[in-house]
Amino acid sequence: MDIKNFVSAISQIAEKKGISEEKVIESFEAALAAAYKKEYGKKGQIIKAKIDSKTGKFNFWQIKTVVSKDMLYTDEELEELKEKKKDEDEESNLKEGSYKIRFNPERHILIEDAKKINPKVEINDEIEIPLETKENFGRIASQTAKQVILQKLREAERETILNEYKSKEGEIISGVVQRIEGRNVFVDIGKTLGILPKEEQVRGEFYRPGQRLKFYVLKIEDSSKGPVIILSRAYPKLVSKLFELEVPEINQGVVVIKAIAREPGFRSKIALESKEKEIDPIGSAVGQKGVRVMAVINELGGEKIDVIEYSDDPKKFIANALSPAKVLDVKILPKNRALCIVDENQLSLAIGKDGQNVRLASKLTGWNIDVKALGDKDIEEMEEEFKEEEIDNEEEDEEVKEKKIRKTKEKKTKKEDKNNKKDEENKTESENEDNNKNGIRNEKE
């Protein structure tokens, strides 16, 4: 065999398939072993092949498992098995070591014979017996080798793709729309195709073949047909990952994304916090003349983005979350609710179209936000209602406490009564025993 052509062919296949040269050589070795067994081997044999990459020579071995006589069925036991028609998995039995096996001279070797080949061998070890090297194979054996090579290369390529994209899960990747089938969009992401399902598509966003976009790698699934990469354009973390690409301060961890709320295709709100006082989180995200935030908006197809500053004070954080509306006052109410008071001319801006702004602010902060205009009569009514609810809750809490105290007292009294009864019973029993003893003594006297 021409070793130069062989090595160049292996390197070409490895580069084309994106797998290592070792995997390609292993595939060729498995194919040679299959061809050798087909042409020269016997039924039940396990053949192993090895290619010397320096000389180009082939070496073949037969693999046998070392067994002892105690592990084998006798002729009588084999006849009994035939009568009972029991089909057992011999290989699993051999591994467990608790069952006997049917001896096959092509797959098994006795420990006495194996010691002659390798004195250090033990039971259940595999021993390699060299075979005569063959280089000429028939048409059927060659066809078998071809099928084995293709199968092994396909498995290696599948494993490589799975491992590569598994590490990219939760990241964004760039891809080109290849085709649209039904509701699913198939995207060329390099070595394989990703799937953008209907539920992960942005409402109102249209996809056409050849269009280049960025996608969020949602999850990787391993199926019988190969790895399936599920992509998303609607996931909220797509926005945060795009900001990490565009804003160096976020990528370096100087500015931290604390929360994000998104309605895909319409609007997003992102809360930022700076770890250093000298750095403005909003200014770093917006960029000079809005260059950075506009790059993210353009990637999302014109989706509006509100960048706000995070605060540990819930009042300040809620007021910032309702931007671009200006909030006059924020009142924290029970049951995780907040009442925001704004001017009448800011009311519609604070609520947003179809309540979008206040809805996103609620998602971002985790508070149920109510927005009212200054001077609205409902404000006083709401405060009175919540005060009444607080009083009712306090009364309920007091009643619950009283009930618990009563129950504990009742349990204690019951326990005391039981203990008193037991003491009385013990006293009566001891008195009866004393009386009986005194009666017996009087009779004896």
| Peptide bond just before 314 cis, omega within 30 deg | no
* DSSP secondary structure, 90-107, as one string: HHHHHHH-SS-B---TTT
At 188 the pLDDT is 92
Q: Which two tokens stand for residue 182?
A: 């039904």
Q: Mean pLDDT score of the chain, rounded to an integer? A: 80
Q: Is pLDDT above 50 for 90?
A: no
At 423 the pLDDT is 65
At 361 the pLDDT is 92
Over the stretch 257-289, which tens digit does the pLDDT of each residue have?
999 999 998 999 999 999 988 889 999 999 888
At 209 the pLDDT is 92
The mean pLDDT value for 186-207 works out to 89
Burial class (CB in 10 A: 0-12, 13-18, 19+), 254: middle
The CA-atom distances, in angstroms, between 142 and each of 7, 38, 55, 253 are 20, 9, 22, 58
pTM score > 0.75 for this model?
A: no
Contacts of 80 (CB under 8 A, 6+ apart): none
**How far is 155 from 165, CA to CA, in rounded Å?**
16
Neighbours of 104 (CB within 10 A): 14
The mean pLDDT value for 348-373 works out to 89
Q: pLDDT class for 237, splitting at 50, 70, 90?
A: very high
For domain 3-160, give the CATH superfamily. Answer: NusA, N-terminal domain (3.30.1480.10)
Share of the chain above pLDDT 70, in %: 80
Structural domain boundaries of the chain? 3-160, 168-232, 244-380
C-beta of residue 250 within 8 angstroms of C-beta of residue 270: no
Q: Is pLDDT above 50 for 62?
A: yes
The mean pLDDT value for 202-229 works out to 87
Neighbours of 266 (CB within 10 A): 17
Q: Is 394 left (phi over 0), alpha (psi -120 to 50) or beta?
A: alpha
At 362 the pLDDT is 92
**How far is 51 from 54, CA to CA, in rounded Å?**
9
Contacts of 200 (CB under 8 A, 6+ apart): 218, 230, 231, 232, 233, 234, 235
C-beta of residue 185 within 8 angstroms of C-beta of residue 177: yes
Over the stretch 98-116, which tens digit does the pLDDT of each residue have?
467 777 778 888 888 888 8
Q: Is pLDDT above 50 for 94?
A: no
Share of the chain above pLDDT 90, in %: 24
Q: Angle, nearest 10°, between helix axes 139-166 and 3-17?
A: 40
Side-chain-facing half-sphere of 322: CA atoms under 13 Å: 30
Q: Is pLDDT above 50 for 89?
A: no
Over the stretch 364-395, which tens digit does the pLDDT of each residue have?
999 998 888 877 666 666 656 665 555 555 55
Q: pLDDT class for 95, splitting at 50, 70, 90?
A: very low
| CATH entry 3.30.300.20 includes domain 244-380 | yes
DSSP state of 73: P
More confident residue, 229 or 443: 229
Q: Is pLDDT above 70 for 194?
A: yes
The mean pLDDT value for 425-439 works out to 61
C-beta of residue 144 within 8 angstroms of C-beta of residue 34: yes
Q: Highest mean pLDDT: which of 44-48, 147-151, 301-305?
A: 301-305
Q: Is pLDDT above 50 for 136?
A: yes
- Classified as helix, coil or strand, 111 is helix
What CATH number has the domain spanning 168-232?
2.40.50.140
The mean pLDDT value for 153-178 works out to 87
Q: Where are the alpha helices (DSSP H) in 18-108?
A: 21-39, 75-84, 90-96
At 234 the pLDDT is 92
At 98 the pLDDT is 45
- Could you tell me whether strands 337-342 and 368-373 are parallel, antiparallel, or unpaired per DSSP bridges? parallel
Over the stretch 144-161, which tens digit does the pLDDT of each residue have?
878 888 888 888 888 888
Contacts of 245 (CB under 8 A, 6+ apart): 172, 251
Q: pLDDT class for 231, splitting at 50, 70, 90?
A: very high
Nearest to 261 by CA among 171, 352, 371, 335: 352
**How far is 230 from 195, CA to CA, in rounded Å?**
5
Q: Angle, nearest 10°, between helix axes 139-166 and 21-39?
A: 150
Burial class (CB in 10 A: 0-12, 13-18, 19+), 444: exposed
Q: Which two tokens stand for residue 17?
A: 């398939």
Q: pLDDT class for 91, splitting at 50, 70, 90?
A: very low
C-beta of residue 356 within 8 angstroms of C-beta of residue 374: no
**How far is 319 from 341, CA to CA, in rounded Å?**
10
Q: pLDDT class for 291, splitting at 50, 70, 90?
A: very high
**How far is 67 from 12, CA to CA, in rounded Å?**
44
- Could you tell me whether strands 126-130 and 193-196 are parallel, antiparallel, or unpaired per DSSP bridges? unpaired
